[in-house]
Amino acid sequence: MKRTHSVAVLATIAIGWAATNEARASGTMSAPDAAASRCSDLAKLKLPDTIIASAQLVPAKAAEATITGKVPGYRSFCRVVARVRSAPDSDIGVEIWLPVEGWTGVFHGNGSGGFGGTFALGYSGMADGLRRGFATATTDTGTAPATPLEGDALIGQERKWRDWGRLSTHAMTAAGKAITKAFYGKDAQRSYYTGCSTGGQQGLIEALHYPRDYDGILVGAPVMNRTWGHAAVLWDYAAANRNPGSLLSEPKLKLLNKAAIASCWRQGHGVAGDRFISDPMRCKFDPAVLQCKSASSDNCLTEPEVATARAFYSGPTDRAGKPTYFGWLPGSEMPDIFGWSFLQKPIGDQPPFAALFKWVFGAGWDWKNFDFDRDMPLVDARLDAIVNDAMRGSLADFAARGGKLIVFHGLADTLVAPGQSVAFFDRHAAQTSGDAELADSARLFLAPGMMHCGGGTGPDAFNATLGIPPRPPSDDAKHDLFSALIAWRERDEAPDRIIATKFATEDAGKIEMQRPLCSYPQKAIYQGTGSTLSAANFRCETPSKAEPG
């Protein structure tokens, strides 16, 4: 698409705003009318390769009490939807919310999830940004009409793979900042990014390849090796479905989970009474201890069920049994949404997230014929350079300009292997002078018992951008990772620990327990006295290499 810059149109908008402000000052236009006019004028804005599809004022809404608790309100904002089309096959959707009053001078970008294709996955982060007074944006990653769980629409659409794999977040950021400047008449003073899963991958790519886009980046469960991440899910599905009797039922998953927690606690990697494992990466658990000695029942595992569980723990291996990727950790055997149950069930008529393989092998691809040793080299040859950019690059330029990166990852995650995030930090520490130097610009927080981006049996409320509010107030940097990131970037208050909260299921406002999340490689150690439900009775320590496990 031809690049166009219309000075005349920009001048017309500026004259219109001046007239609007004059009318407001003279009393001939009400404040709501002036805001609506100022917002609708953005529809005339001309930006390179960008179409403003709509610009509408959204009135403020007060907080309200409901039977499930208080629902936060929001300030009035200008909602802008734009399309960035820089190539014939590219169409990246951008949505931005601009607070009419009380803008703090911050631009806030948000990530998507799965195959993208929608703005909706960014809305919880945008709502948090709006409450903070930020101009806040998200993108559909340029993959519509795909949906987060279904990517068949992208077969043969290589440019859309590239937009999804790397380019869309930078396009959102450039367009979002330009629209923000047009609305307020000045550049944003600071910029922050938040996202989880695919949104986590988007944030890492920003830090690694577009280091000037953001001053601070907060990402959870980031997808790094996209091809092998999808392969791990396929590996699990095949283990559970290739042979009869291999599926793990909900009672069997609960049995596994209980046995794993007990085993890891005996090894010293858990706290008595916890429903999760504190340090599953150092725990060894063989599901064969549960193998039935006689007839099958819900109190034991059959030989095929043991084989399935072992496949989930090991992750993909080659024909010789050598691991080729990460597996899931003890304590992750959840029957919940996105847990082990999800990994065993088809979406439509195919394994979860299997569309990526159809991009390589065509619409007729059949998972039953997939051979990991033979076919994964073909997948990587076709897609690695397109979708795995989070595996490449350096944080040096981002760090040099004062950028701060925080990564968090649930240790019970079964969609994105937690080992990826640890390996990422170990790899980048090796590129610098070690953990201490890396910690000046990047920190990792591992959350025991938390599943993919949230949920699970461990404390998971520590990031308001995910729609799981931390302990009030939400701007408390001791309880909210986004607030901690802002304090680190703006006041040089580096976060060493964050208090994670577990709210009672039956009462969203009741605190069930709290536990510190420690900056990697440290972990939370119980001091031996006081309630294990209180974060005050834990300290952050670096585990000894001689520690068992």
Vertex 108: Cα angle to 102 and 111 (nearest 5): 145
Catalytic residue from among 230, 452, 460, 480 = 452
Give which of 328, 147, 338, 149 is closest to 232, Cα–Cα: 328
The β-bridge relationship of strands 106-110 and 135-139 is parallel
Helix, strand, coil abundance in the chain, percent, nearest 5? 40, 20, 40
Give which of 202, 144, 150 is closest to 172, Cα–Cα: 202
Q: Residue 427: which H helix or E strand, with range?
A: helix 418-431
Please confirm, yes or no, whether 91 is among the known catalytic residues.
no
Please confirm, yes or no, whether 318 is among the known catalytic residues.
no
By the 8 A CB rule, do 543 and 523 touch?
A: yes
The contacts of residue 421 (CB under 8 Å, 6+ apart) are 221, 222, 224, 407, 409, 444, 446
How many angstroms separate the CA atoms of 137 and 111, rounded? 9
205: left (phi over 0), alpha (psi -120 to 50) or beta: alpha
CA dist list (Å): 8 to 4, 15, 36, 73: 12, 10, 22, 38
Question: In terms of residues, how long is the chain?
Answer: 549
Catalytic residue from among 76, 112, 124, 197 = 197
For residue 544, count CB atoms less than 10 angstroms from its CB and return exposed for 0-12, middle for 13-18, buried for 19 or more: exposed
Catalytic residue from among 128, 213, 413, 460 = 413
How many angstroms separate the CA atoms of 172 and 140, rounded? 9
By the 8 A CB rule, do 333 and 260 touch?
A: yes
Residue 211 tokens, joined: 């280091």
Please confirm, yes or no, whether 452 is among the known catalytic residues.
yes
How many angstroms separate the CA atoms of 17 and 12, rounded? 9
Q: Which residues form the catalytic set?
A: 197, 413, 452
